[in-house]
C-alpha cells in the first residue's frame, strides 16, 4: 500500500499570492501532477491541514478545483488556517466528514493500513488541542482492532521540533501527554503523520514514529535560534509517501520538481 501525504497547501483566491510571494495554487498543481505521474500511483492521498489560507468558502471552492485531478480516495483534516464548517460544506460529498460541527475525527477501514484522523484545530487560534471526547474515541477505536497496522493523521505535531516559534503554537502539552499514553498502550500505531511546521521532520515518540510533512506551498528555514522563524524561497514544495511493505511503514520525502 502506498499513501501520499500533502500538507499546508495554503490555497488562496485566484490572483493572490500567499504573503505576497508564494503561488500556492501553482505549487499544489505541480505537486499533484507529480503524484499522478508516479509509478506506482498512490492508493490514497491524505491532506493534513492548512488546506487554504483564510478559511473562506471561495478558497475551498478553488481547492476542490485544484484537487480534481486526483483519481484515488482523498482524506482531509483541518489545520489552524482552516474553517471547519466551510471545509465540510465545500466537501459535503466526502461521507467520512462528520456534519455536527465537532472535531472531524474518523477512521477508514478500507485499506491494508487503517487510517485514523484526529482534528487538532482550535477555532481562532494557531495552536492545537485534543479534547477528552476525541481522545476517548481514539482509544476505543484503536482497541477495536488491536491487530491492524494503523496510521494516525493530524495537523499539529505532538513533540517539540526545536523551531521555537512553531513549538509555541504546537499541540498543547496536556493533549500531547494523554495522546502519548494512549499510543504507548497500542503498539499497532505504525506512524503518526502531521504538518504545520513546513519542514520534513521525523522523531521517535512514545513508542511509535512521528513524521512531519513538508508543505506543498513553501518551507520554513531550519532555524533553531530562539527567535528564528523565516520562510524560504529556495526550498521547493514537497510531499511524503508512506509505503507499507507488509511489515513496516517506510516514509519517503519527495521534492516537487515539475
Query: Which distant-in-sequence residues (6+ apart) come within 8 Å of 34 by Cβ?
Result: 239, 254, 256, 257, 258
Domains present along the chain, CATH in parentheses: 2-255 (3.60.21.10)
Rounded to whole angstroms, the Cα distance separating 104 from 137 reads 12
Residue listed under C-alpha cell 498543481: 29
Rounded to whole angstroms, the Cα distance separating 253 from 236 reads 12
- What would the pLDDT profile of 104-113 be if each residue is shown by its tens digit? 999 999 999 9
Q: Which of 248, 253, 109 is nearest to 191 (CA)?
A: 248
- What would the pLDDT profile of 75-120 be if each residue is shown by its tens digit? 999 999 999 999 999 999 999 998 777 899 999 999 999 999 999 9
pLDDT of residue 246: 95
- What would the pLDDT profile of 145-174 be if each residue is shown by its tens digit? 998 999 999 999 999 998 888 999 999 999
CA-angle at 99, arms to 138 and 180, nearest 5°: 15
Q: Are 209 and 73 in contact (CB under 8 A)?
A: no
Q: Are 175 and 130 in contact (CB under 8 A)?
A: yes
Rounded to whole angstroms, the Cα distance separating 48 from 5 reads 7
Rounded to whole angstroms, the Cα distance separating 46 from 221 reads 24
- C-beta neighbour count of 126 within 10 angstroms: 15
- What would the pLDDT profile of 10-38 be if each residue is shown by its tens digit? 999 999 999 999 999 999 999 999 999 99
133-to-36, 119, 122, 142, 187 alpha-carbon distances in Å:
37, 12, 15, 14, 22
| pLDDT score of 228 more than 60 | no
Amino acid at each position: 500500500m502506498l499513501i501520499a501525504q500533502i500538507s499546508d497547501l495554503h490555497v488562496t483566491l485566484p490572483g493572490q499570492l500567499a504573503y505576497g510571494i508564494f503561488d500556492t495554487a501553482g505549487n499544489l498543481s505541480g505537486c499533484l501532477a507529480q503524484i499522478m505521474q508516479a509509478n506506482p500511483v498512490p492508493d490514497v492521498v491524505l491532506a493534513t491541514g492548512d488546506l487554504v489560507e483564510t478559511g473562506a468558502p471561495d478558497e475551498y471552492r478553488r481547492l476542490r478545483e485544484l484537487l480534481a485531478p486526483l483519481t484515488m480516495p482523498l482524506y482531509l483534516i483541518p489545520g489552524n488556517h482552516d474553517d471547519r464548517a466551510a471545509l465540510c460544506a465545500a466537501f459535503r460529498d466526502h461521507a467520512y466528514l462528520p456534519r455536527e460541527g465537532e472535531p472531524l475525527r474518523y477512521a477508514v477501514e478500507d485499506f491494508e493500513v487503517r487510517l485514523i484522523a484526529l482534528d487538532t484545530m482550535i477555532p481562532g487560534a494557531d495552536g492545537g488541542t485534543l479534547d477528552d471526547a476525541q481522545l476517548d474515541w481514539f482509544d476505543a477505536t484503536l482497541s477495536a482492532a488491536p491487530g491492524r497496522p494503523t496510521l494516525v493523521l493530524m495537523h499539529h505535531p505532538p513533540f517539540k521540533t526545536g523551531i521555537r516559534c512553531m513549538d509555541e503554537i504546537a499541540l498543547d502539552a496536556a493533549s500531547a501527554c494523554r495522546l502519548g499514553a494512549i499510543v504507548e498502550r497500542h503498539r499497532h500505531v505504525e506512524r503518526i503523520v502531521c504538518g504545520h511546521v513546513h519542514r520534513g521532520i521525523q522523531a521517535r515518540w512514545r513508542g511509535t514514529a512521528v513524521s512531519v510533512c513538508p508543505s506543498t506551498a513553501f518551507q520554513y528555514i531550519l532555524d533553531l535560534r530562539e527567535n528564528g522563524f523565516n520562510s524560504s524561497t529556495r526550498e521547493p514544495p514537497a510531499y511524503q509517501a508512506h509505503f507499507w511493505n507488509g511489515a513496516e511503514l517506510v516514509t519517503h520525502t519527495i521534492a516537487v520538481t515539475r
